[in-house]
Amino acid sequence: MLYAMFIAMFTIGWVNLNNCSINRMIPIYLIVAGFVGGVAKFLTKIENRFAFNLAMVLVIFDIFWHGVGTYVVYKEYQPNYDSKLGPYCNRTAYLLAFWILTFQYTLLGMFILISLCYMLMRNDFNKYIKKPVKN
């Protein structure tokens, strides 16, 4: 399923490369994120130290590229989708980029929240809290 998402990102970005005059970086973000994500995912399946190291470099680049995509996509929030009304962006390309980024941030927030709840349930924070000394 993850490969399908990466292929869709790459394909929709490629097809709409010239259909986003409001900000040409939106389809470029989709192309690069789809390609890098797919290659990194594929490299994790290969049991080879070089492939693993290359995958880690791609993951680090993908984190940086995620930040670029966030800025580019959210900056143009609610773009014009009609090419006849001036600068526009293809509806499918923009909404794919927007919802993939939003979904990733939602997953990150849920992961942080669940991790904090887990740590609280295990009392992991108690070792950092100084307890008063009784006389």
Please give the model's pTM, rounded to 2 decimal places: 0.83
Overall domain count for the chain:
1
CB-based contacts of 30, cutoff 8 Å, min separation 6: 9, 10, 12, 13, 16, 93, 96, 97
Let me know if residue 64 belongs to a domain: yes
| In a domain? residue 115 | no
**Residue 34 lies inside a defined structural domain of this protein:** yes
* Domain around 9: 2-104
Asked if residue 88 is part of any domain, the answer here is yes
- Is residue 124 one of the residues assigned to a domain? no
What pLDDT digit, counting tens, does each position of 59-102 carry? 999 999 999 999 999 999 989 898 888 899 999 999 999 999 99
